[in-house]
Structure 1
Amino acid sequence: MTRGAPIPDTVTLHVPFRIVKRGGRKEMQMPKGATQSRRTDSALIKALARAFRWKRMLESGEFTTIAELAEREGIAPSYMTRVLRLTLLAPNIVEAILDGKQEPEVTLARLLEPVPVEWSQQPSSLLTRNL
């Protein structure tokens, strides 16, 4: 604006983004190509931590079955089984999640769906960027 120019009543600013649910909360998702700082997903990290902790408890013999551990944790065995599958993710995918480098579409709900056990068959190029 220049001196003496009238101040407009309304200024419209267009910011392209989508609102997505991540870990039970709403978050802005910027379009592809927009620069974003690293942002860790606390729900994903918490689920990974739980999965590896539960795996360690089962492998150590502290609990003999998933049902027994699920009962102690106060959750459904089917949910525990889905979360335990996170321990089968390729190390580069786990590292990307911990570093906040995963694509915005990678949510806990998406990762709880079945993925191939073979690391080479896991869609790492789809799930992570800048590896």
Structure 2
Amino acid sequence: MTPSSSITVRIPLAIRSRGGRKLVVTPDGSSGMPLSRTRADPAMVKALARAHRWKQLLEQGRYASLSEMTKAEKIDRGYLGKMLRLTLLAPDIVEAILDGRQPSHIGLPALLRSVPSMWDEQRSMIARSAVAPH
């Protein structure tokens, strides 16, 4: 090879933010990070904790209604509704999030969108979104 010749290498990948860090994601959806180095997404863990806390406060009768809770907790009603839906996630999905093992394409914004209440449908939705273009 002469000094003026060059080689161009193209590698398909995407760069995603996760837990405040940037990850390189390959076309098959893997981040290339070994499983032993997983780290839970702090935003997702915090959202799950808040959702379960708010659900518990409602169940204990601390607040008589969602409206009362939104005023006392100073949160938007729509946001509260989305957050409370997180308490309906399948246990294995919650465990994967807490262990940092959820698919790299699943972040908090995806979970705050319409998530089915049936656990099998949640798993299917996550599996389908893994093969959909991002």
TM-score normalised to structure 2 length:
0.74
Q: Which has the larger radius of gyration?
A: 1
State the shift of 1:38 in Å.
0.8
Distance 1:16 1:113, change over 3 A: same
Q: 5+ residue gaps in structure 1?
A: 1-13
Alignment correspondent of 2:45: 45
Aligned length: 115
2:24 & 2:70 partners in 1: Cα distance?
34
- Give 1:30-41 correspondences, 5 Å limit: 30-31=25-26, 32-33=29-30, 34-36=32-34, 37-41=37-41
The one-character-per-residue Cα deviations of 1:14-70 (angstroms, maximum 9, x if unpaired) are: 9875332446x4522332452332121000000000000000000000001112111
TM-score normalised to structure 1 length:
0.75
Moved over 6 A (4+): none
1:20 & 1:105 partners in 2: Cα distance?
8
8 Å CA contact 2:16, 2:25 repeated in 1: no
Provide the aligned C-alpha RMSD in A: 2.5
Alignment correspondent of 1:112: 112
**Which of residues 15, 18, 21 is equivalent to 2:14?**
18
